Structures are given as structure tokens and as C-alpha cells.
Structure 1
């Protein structure tokens, strides 16, 4: 029993350390960007060693991946919450995509997920957090296909193209010199592209 208690305590401490490192890294990456963020300063700020960072995440890139995963997952949840307020499955699909694009104006999302993210971690469509976004879109597309709201297309293809359109629109907004000016153009084009899937005009 003592051994089990020690193991439980050790796991709890490891989880606390992970959470501390992710929270500190999130702030550092948002403030200074991936390249300029100092891992020595970060670990010192939370009273841990670089050894704790390496043990939990492998390296700076691994810690960055954990931060991106956390923020990207939060973005997906936020988009779903906004979409729930929309009237009907089709409007929900549009609202979710538009909400994701609009989050490109959030400084933390912009710098960590949309600017540094692809540069450090590669193709965003392959990130685990993007897979959960895709799964949600696929579910909505499936419902729309069953109800014959959209054309009889391949479910996976339609879901991937819609998710890709929203992601690339967000990347464009984040990378532009005038994100606030680009945003309405991106949303208008996203709606136009998505509406091409409709079996009848419901836009």
C-alpha cells in the first residue's frame, strides 16, 4: 500500500510539473515566440530544472507541441460552443468554420498556433488536435448528407476540404499585414466555397 501511495504521489507531482511547464511555456511562446523563448528562464520561473523539461517533453519542440495541442483543442471547443447557438446543422457548420477563422485575430492563437506552429511542427493538418476538429466536421457533414442538405459527396472528402478551407483561411489572416481587413474577405470566401456543397440554396 505504501508503494502504491508513493507511486500515486509521484504521478501527481509529474502531472503538476507538466502543467506548470505548459502554462509557463504558453506565456513565453506568446510573448517572445518559439525561437526567442528561453528554456532556462522558463524552468527557473516555475522552480524546475531543465531535466524536468526533458523528462516530460523531450525537448523545447516537444514542449511547444504540447502548448499548440492545448490551444488548438481550446479553439475547437470554443468554435463548437459558438456553433451550438446557430440555427440548424448547416448554419452550425458555417458558424464553426467562421469562429475558427476569427480566432486568428487572437494574439496568442496567431503567434503560437498559426505562425510559429507550422514553422516548428510542420503541416497543421497532421497535428492530433486538428484530427479532433476534422472528426467534428465529419460528424456534421454526415448528418447533412443523411438529410440531403448537401450534395451526395464522399463524407471524408467534404469534411477534409471544409476543415482545410477554415484552417488555411485562419493561416492567411494570421500571416497578413492587416488581419482585421483580411478577416471579412476570408469569411466571405469560406461561406461561398462551403455553400457550393448545398443540394439546394440554403445560404
Structure 2
């Protein structure tokens, strides 16, 4: 059976991460102090250091939390009902919507490359979402819905395009409009890969 101490420890860590996500989203990494995070989570600073070695470790936990929410949302779509093409279109639409979320924009797109370093950030992004993208592309090829393209190379190119898309959306004066434009362009690109007889009108974004 789980001990009360373990439950308390996990709830404390969760409260600290939630607090960090909110404060990093509002004020950024430089504008957020550990004292503020601990105060908002209603724990002592000593409790914070029990779970995290410092500010960067706490930021990386906040980054993981934000990324996990997006991953879980996309995985649910990619493993849900519908044809591989319908699932792929649904996941693309969900990803574009995730790029409009203030927490994802500030923490995962703007702050993470600076705080974590570009290489570490890129590695973390790939670990989180590249496998899902590759699996989705493989299912499209296996189902005969797209041409038998080299899956690894094509997935890498799509991953790069989606990473750039996220940055464009997060930096735009009108993120929603840019998101719609990017989604339309990526769908048009994917339609070029559709097998003869499979291509049709793109489903309307929900």
C-alpha cells in the first residue's frame, strides 16, 4: 500500500510544478523566483529543494509537464477511432491548437531553447513527439493512404516543419490566423503524398 508520506511528497511536487508552470508562463524564467514558486504552492523553500536542485531543474519539470499534456492529447487522437488519414488530420489540428496555448508558447517554445540550451531542448522535443509523428506516418504508409515514402527521412522533415510552425505561431501578431495558414499549407503538402484515389477535399478544422 502507498504510504501517506509518499502521497504527500507527490502532491507537493505536483503543486510546485503547477505553480512553476503558471509563473513561468506569466513572467518567464528570468522574472520568476523560487520564493514565489514555493509561496504559490504553499510549501517551504526547503520542500522545493527537496524535490528540485534549483531553478533550472524546476523549469525542466515544468517543460515536461507542458509537453506531456500535448503528447497525451495527440496520442489519444493517433490511437483513437477513424482511418489513419483522419487521425493524422485530427492530430495536426490538435497540435496547431496546442501552439496557441500560452503555457506551451512561453515555456516550450520561447523559454526552453534558452534555459535548457538548444541541443538539450531539441533532444527533449524529439523524445516527446518524434516517435509519435513517425508512427503516424508509418500507419499512413502501411494503410496505403500515402505513397511509400522513406518513413524516417520524411518524418524528420515533417518534424522540422512542425517545429518551425510552432515558433512562427508563438511569435505571430495574430497566432490564430497564422496557425490556420500553417495547417492549410501542411495539409496541402501531405495531400501531395496521397495515393491516387485517396485524395479528396481536406476535412474542415474543428
* Cα distance in 2, alignment partners of residues 122 and 180 from structure 1: 28
| Per-residue CA distance 1:6-63 (angstroms, 9 max, x = gap) | x944433322221111011111112212210121122123333333323312211111
Alignment of 1:93-172 (within 5 A): 93-123=88-118, 124-127=121-124, 130-172=126-168
> How far apart are residue 126 of structure 1 and its match?
1.2
Structure 1: state its 5+ residue gaps.
none
Tell me the equivalent position of 2:204: none
More helix by share: 1
Give the RMSD, CA atoms, in angstroms.
2.6
Q: What is the TM-score normalised by the length of structure 1?
A: 0.82
* Cα distance in 2, alignment partners of residues 77 and 163 from structure 1: 17
* Cα distance in 1, alignment partners of residues 27 and 128 from structure 2: 28
Q: What is the TM-score normalised by the length of structure 2?
A: 0.81
* Cα distance in 2, alignment partners of residues 39 and 186 from structure 1: 37
Please point out which of 152, 171, 177 is paired with 1:175: 171
Tell me the equivalent position of 2:24: 29
* Cα distance in 1, alignment partners of residues 105 and 89 from structure 2: 21
> How far apart are residue 171 of structure 1 and its match?
1.6
- Tell me the SS of whatever aligns to 2:29: helix
- CA gap of 1:180–1:146, structure 2 versus 1, over 3 A, is closer
Whether contact under 8 Å (2:19, 2:37) holds in the other structure is: yes
Structure 1 segments of 4+ aligned residues over 6 angstroms from their partners: none
Tell me the equivalent position of 2:57: 62
Whether contact under 8 Å (1:24, 1:46) holds in the other structure is: yes
> How far apart are residue 114 of structure 1 and its match?
1.8
Structure 2: state its 5+ residue gaps.
201-206
- Tell me the SS of whatever aligns to 2:134: helix
Whether contact under 8 Å (2:16, 2:41) holds in the other structure is: yes
- Tell me the SS of whatever aligns to 1:152: coil
Please point out which of 196, 199, 202 is paired with 2:199: 202
Whether contact under 8 Å (1:110, 1:174) holds in the other structure is: yes
* Cα distance in 2, alignment partners of residues 82 and 151 from structure 1: 22
* Cα distance in 2, alignment partners of residues 135 and 149 from structure 1: 19
Whether contact under 8 Å (1:102, 1:170) holds in the other structure is: no
Please point out which of 171, 182, 186 is paired with 1:190: 186
